[in-house]
Amino acid sequence: MTAELKTSLVAPIESAAKAAGLTVVSATTGASHDGRTTTEFVLALPSDPGKTLKLELTEAFEFDKPELLAQMQAHLANEAKRLRNPRPECYVTLAGLPVAFGQFEWPFHRSTSGADTHIVHGEMHLADGGAHNLHAKVAGSVTLTFAEIVPAMEQPYAETFVYNAVRKTVDMGQLEFLKSGNRQPVPVTTRFYSRWQKKFVFTDTDDAERLRYLLSKVYWLSGVLGNGKPVWIADPRDAQYLNTTEQDLLRMASDEAGQGLMQLDGEFASATPALMARAAEYQAALEAALDFTKPKFNESMRAGEANM
């Protein structure tokens, strides 16, 4: 590790990263949106040091408590598998939009508008291999009530549900992809959490919808963006988004592998020529999903044919 910094966070992060199969490349001092001191870690896969991820934590944060340590270790273990994807920052939405997350400014900061919320800024880009630069700048806002559910208001404990809330907001047509524009709000509230089940619930899906999602994911992330390289199917981030389990996603992927649409290798799958032959179908789904995010106007009012 590059020895830029030595804080109380370095040793425990190095230990947790090693257990997850990652190495700490660097640890440097940063600053949060509201001026608090943070520690910025860059972690990598030893087998592919070009694949890195950023982890930024409030400098005073202590995660070596039983209720926090296990979740930190699980987060890093999942990140290690996600780093094996050709494009680790990329996901798909239920409607078939390939998107890339980036520029998230962890940790959360308190709202400056007077609202009792925690805010994190980030960006989501359309990632279909084109050069149109359509993106959405987002401001994820977590209510104080919702924050009580979260073990810690730090990146490893919040990134999954924030990303899924952004995807869900796209599904509802409430985020628009633009070439420029202001930040768009993504409310992260208790509507995304079942106190009875004690888990996040974003979208209720059935097997048919989950299967379409998996095929779309493999088509875009392996076939189009990954040059045929495998992507992680049993991603718990996707399982939460679809309200299912990693085991169920693997089961459905195994079924489709038998149909010749995926090449399955453990928890990873790559696109086959049979799947790539469906390019027109997935492009049409992308166009329809993108159109759904655009604001709709009453055309008769625009033409002056109706009273306003």
- Cα-based distances in Å from 262 to 81, 203, 233, 252, 268: 19, 25, 11, 11, 10
Identity of the amino acid at 302: R
Task: Read off the pLDDT of residues 14-32 as tens digits, 9 standing for 90 and up.
Answer: 999 999 999 999 999 999 8
In this predicted structure, the answer to whether residue 67 has a pLDDT above a threshold of 70 is yes
How many Å apart are CA 96 and CA 160, to the nearest integer?
A: 19
Q: How many CB atoms lie within 10 A of CB 78?
A: 19
Task: State both tokens at 98.
Answer: 């390939």
Task: Read off the pLDDT of residues 208-250 as tens digits, 9 standing for 90 and up.
Answer: 999 999 999 999 999 999 999 999 999 999 999 999 999 999 9
Which secondary-structure segment (H or E) carries 68? helix 66-82
How many Å apart are CA 269 and CA 71, to the nearest integer?
A: 26
Task: State both tokens at 203.
Answer: 């979208």
How many Å apart are CA 20 and CA 29, to the nearest integer?
A: 23
How many Å apart are CA 145 and CA 118, to the nearest integer?
A: 11
pTM (whole model) above 0.85: yes
Are 186 and 45 in contact by the 8 Å Cβ rule? The answer is no
How many Å apart are CA 127 and CA 177, to the nearest integer?
A: 11
Averaged confidence pLDDT in the chain: 89
Q: Which residues contact 187 (CB under 8 A, 6 or more apart)?
A: 141, 143, 165
Give the rounded distance of the alpha carbon of 12 from its chain centre. Answer: 25
Task: Read off the pLDDT of residues 246-299 as tens digits, 9 standing for 90 and up.
Answer: 999 999 888 776 688 999 999 999 999 999 999 999 999 999 999 999 887 544
Q: Pick from 227, 211, 253, 230: which is nearest to 81 by CA?
A: 230
Q: Pick from 54, 57, 58, 47: which is nearest to 25 by CA?
A: 54
How many Å apart are CA 53 and CA 275, to the nearest integer?
A: 30
- What are 26's strand-pairing partners? 2, 42
Q: What is the pLDDT of residue 242?
A: 96
Are 9 and 61 in contact by the 8 Å Cβ rule? The answer is yes
Are 61 and 154 in contact by the 8 Å Cβ rule? The answer is yes
Average pLDDT, integer, range 83-106: 96
Q: Which residues contact 217 (CB under 8 A, 6 or more apart)?
A: 91, 92, 231, 233, 238
Q: How confident is the model at residue 114 (pLDDT cuts 50, 70, 90)?
A: low
Q: What is the pLDDT of residue 115?
A: 66
Task: State both tokens at 260.
Answer: 């010749």
Which secondary-structure segment (H or E) carries 41? strand 37-45
- Burial bucket for residue 307 (CB in 10 Å: 0-12, 13-18, 19+): exposed
